Structure 1
Amino acid sequence: MFPSPLHEPRTTVVLGRWLGAAVLVCFLTGLLSHLLQEPPAWLSGLLPARPVNGYRVTQGLHVISGIAAIPLLGAKLWTVYPRLFEWPPARSVLHALERLGIAVLVAAVLLELFTGLLNTLQWYPWPFPFRQTHFWLGWLATGGLLVHIAAKAPLIARNWRRPRVPVPGRRAFLVSVTAATGAVTLTTAGQTVPWLQRLDLLAPRRPGTGSQGLPVNRTAAQAGTVSVPADWRLEVVGPRPYRLTLADLRRLPQHEAVLPISCVEGWSATARWRGVRITDLLARAGAPPGSAVRVTSLEADGPYRIMEMPAQYARDPLTLLALRVNGETLNPDHGFPARIVAPNRPGVLQTKWVVRIEVI
């Protein structure tokens, strides 16, 4: 029924090494992304604001490794799928538990990669919350992978080194899988790797495409902020609270910062931002050293309408309340009249349509 000689342990072990590396990189970078978005209290003050491109690199690796894992997983499952038809299906209680563990592992990895891929398209055709589900599936898949490696350690060890007698077709098969994985990776990684942008054929985002030279995830129309109230004021709340009009903000000392917007979906784009340093606004409000801030957006709802920024970001000289991008006044989709830009933070925390900054 299964005549191919490639349904054998050595081919599976080679593919398993590649797949295991991709899954572990994807898990660790995804865990970092989760901690940056929702840090526990003990970690909040320890997250670094530098390097400025840190999140761009780690989240880019997260999506790149996740996409690369898809063809690798397909090839590995093909090498072992005859085992699904073993009879009897369970030879002992231990064998039944092993097969159950493999079923959980395969299901978790498939669902993790499937939901992650659709997240890059911002398409959520399921009733459960994506981010929380994706987070816990990552733990389940990685834990299942480590248990599987431990259970199969003797078999892996026997087939780790290249055998003296080659299996016909193995080299061609592995070369084909490598070529497919490389092609998928190269044609999607350009959404975050600048020197691969010309090959960005399959990725859902092109970094230089969009209004004012930047893509947009959440538009002003979606957020309900197309029309900013005529009496808009920035409210800064601290020991010495005050309010500023847009004209007042423009009269304050202006600073520039070249920073990327790096989104959890895997794309990132660098822009030149100009505005008022957050640290200057806090100093005017009498904020004590080491103060964090809470930023509120004009949008009526949304999970990131209110954002908290730890002190190390708030006091960084590159963190701005930006009024301009790439030499132009912010348009509504990019956060007019003012938005936050800070180094080494996820794009969802670069709050747009800012109306209030509160010292905490």
Structure 2
Amino acid sequence: MRRGPFRAGAFTSPLHDPLHRPRTAVVLGRWLGAALLVCFLTGLTSHLLQDPPGRLAPHLPARPVNGYRVTQGLHVISGLAAIPLTGAKLWTVYPRLFEWPPARSVLHALERLAVAVLVAAVLLELFTGLLNTLQWYPWPFPFRQTHFWLGWLATGGLLVHLAVKAPLVAANWWRRAAPALAQRRAFLVATTAAAGAVTLVTAGQTVPWLRSLDLLAPRRPDLGPQGLPVNRTAAQAGTVTVPADWRLRVDGPRPYELTLAELGGLPQHEAELPIACVEGWSCGARWTGVRLAELVRRAGAPPGSAVRVTSLEAEGPYRVTEMPAPYVDDPLSLLALRVNGEVLAADHGFPARVIVPNRPGVLQTKWVERIEVIV
């Protein structure tokens, strides 16, 4: 028996009428498609900068300085804006999800299966991405790898869906394709307002001129030790107490060690660089320290050398990171000892941390104890 949403006439809104639904779905699809495309492309950028293929690593650019700040900010902004757009899109088309009979042919069954995969991938992608901005991971699988492959799955499903629906999209692309409807106009205005509001109250974590409206974002970029947020504290990393005999070891053709005092006695340079994190927040600061290139040259390494950086923290996925040569050779790349004129706080990496342009925050290693040249 056909009951509930399966019964005839279960959907009474004029927006669900077959005469009006396609036009509403196409308008929402344009907005949602644009948000998902931006989210996908910027997500690929983030993934490549965090975990580049071996052949690509030597060619990663250290400029523009704010490149990662912009792309990852756009990634999170577009992902958050896609949440209300996805809800509105699903509400518009959900009568089609309860079609009866469920499958009229093999091709129809395959089309519905593709839609199911698309919807599931998009919802899971947005859900896990949202919780990542809160640094909450209540699932047993690795977030970053799962998020990456879900992005490809959702994008592939979207392309298949567009190919199937191309004639319907073309027929309803222009405003004159469907009769005017006051309810549709009100619904689209409300959806636009919802997506705009979500953007305005969260984008301030990366867009400076929206900072005063940063009401719902998990981070305020100006709150934290020394005016900078912190994702991983010294207590969490087990580096609250730095050994009294701490020395920086630089390994290369001519390895050497430096005490903190000796490191501070080397030529100091300043750089205005942002910390830009995968969760979408970013904040600029004035860093002071020794150029990485100068430390590496002193160890006898030629220009074009990559390095491996090791942290004092006992464990963690980014305790050891590799830095390609373009970052090492950039004059703005520092082993920083101070931030905004103050000695680094423990949470910001005392006694020394890496800070380089156009690089994800998780790779800006704190509590550095060793720099190893890898040619």
Q: Which runs of 5+ in 1 are unaligned?
A: none
1:72 to 75, 85, 93: 85
Counterpart of 1:305?
319
Shift of 1:85: 1.7
Q: Are positions 1:325 and 2:339 aligned together? A: yes
State the secondary structure of the residue aligned to 1:272.
strand
Counterpart of 1:187?
201
Q: Which amino acid aligns with 2:13?
A: S
How do 1:261-300 and structure 2 match up within 5 A? 261-300=275-314
Q: Which amino acid aligns with 1:317?
A: P
How do 1:110-189 and structure 2 match up within 5 A? 110-163=123-176, 165-189=179-203
Q: Which amino acid aligns with 1:254?
A: Q
Q: Are positions 1:11 and 2:24 aligned together? A: yes
Shift of 1:6: 1.1
Q: Which amino acid aligns with 1:205?
A: R
The separation in 2 between residues aligned to 1:282 and 1:126, in whole angstroms, is: 41
Shift of 1:4: 1.0
Q: Which amino acid aligns with 2:14?
A: P
Shift of 1:285: 0.6
The separation in 2 between residues aligned to 1:289 and 1:269, in whole angstroms, is: 30
Q: Which amino acid aligns with 2:362?
A: V
How do 1:43-58 and structure 2 match up within 5 A? 43-58=56-71
State the secondary structure of the residue aligned to 2:359.
coil
Structure 1 segments (4+ residues) deviating >3 Å = none
State the secondary structure of the residue aligned to 2:175.
coil
Q: Are positions 1:221 and 2:230 aligned together? A: no
State the secondary structure of the residue aligned to 1:72.
helix
Shift of 1:153: 0.3
Counterpart of 2:271?
257
Shift of 1:88: 0.5
**CA deviation map 1:101-149 (0-9, x unaligned):** 0000000000000000000000001111100100000000011001100
Instruction: State the TM-score, normalized to the length of structure 2.
Output: 0.95
The separation in 2 between residues aligned to 1:256 and 1:117, in whole angstroms, is: 35
State the secondary structure of the residue aligned to 1:3.
coil
Q: Which amino acid aligns with 1:279?
A: A
The separation in 1 between residues aligned to 2:370 and 2:276, in whole angstroms, is: 23
The separation in 1 between residues aligned to 2:247 and 2:253, in whole angstroms, is: 18
Q: Is the 8 A contact 1:294 1:308 kept in 2?
A: yes
Q: What root-mean-square deviation, in Å, do the aligned CA atoms of Structure 1 and Structure 2 show?
A: 0.7
How do 1:336-351 and structure 2 match up within 5 A? 336-351=350-365
The separation in 1 between residues aligned to 2:265 and 2:240, in whole angstroms, is: 24
Shift of 1:168: 3.2
Counterpart of 1:32?
45
Counterpart of 1:85?
98
Q: Which runs of 5+ in 2 are unaligned?
A: 1-9
The separation in 1 between residues aligned to 2:33 and 2:104, in whole angstroms, is: 28
Counterpart of 1:59?
72
The separation in 2 between residues aligned to 1:117 and 1:168, in whole angstroms, is: 33
The separation in 1 between residues aligned to 2:26 and 2:303, in whole angstroms, is: 55
Q: Which amino acid aligns with 1:352?
A: K
Shift of 1:165: 2.3
The separation in 2 between residues aligned to 1:26 and 1:209, in whole angstroms, is: 27
The separation in 2 between residues aligned to 1:267 and 1:356, in whole angstroms, is: 28
Aligned residues with identical type, % of pairs: 81
Q: Is the 8 A contact 1:5 1:168 kept in 2?
A: no
1:212 to 226, 239, 247: 226
State the secondary structure of the residue aligned to 2:321.
strand
Counterpart of 1:316?
330
The separation in 2 between residues aligned to 1:347 and 1:85, in whole angstroms, is: 45
Q: Which amino acid aligns with 2:175?
A: R
State the secondary structure of the residue aligned to 1:6.
helix
Q: Which amino acid aligns with 1:78?
A: W
Counterpart of 1:201?
215
State the secondary structure of the residue aligned to 2:270.
strand
User: Quick check: 165-174 or 93-102, which moved more?
Assistant: 165-174
State the secondary structure of the residue aligned to 1:152.
helix
State the secondary structure of the residue aligned to 2:112.
helix
Shift of 1:167: 2.2
State the secondary structure of the residue aligned to 2:56.
helix
The separation in 1 between residues aligned to 2:50 and 2:189, in whole angstroms, is: 39
State the secondary structure of the residue aligned to 1:42.
coil
Shift of 1:233: 0.5
State the secondary structure of the residue aligned to 2:216.
coil
The separation in 2 between residues aligned to 1:202 and 1:282, in whole angstroms, is: 43
The separation in 2 between residues aligned to 1:286 and 1:46, in whole angstroms, is: 22
The separation in 2 between residues aligned to 1:84 and 1:51, in whole angstroms, is: 46
Shift of 1:46: 1.4
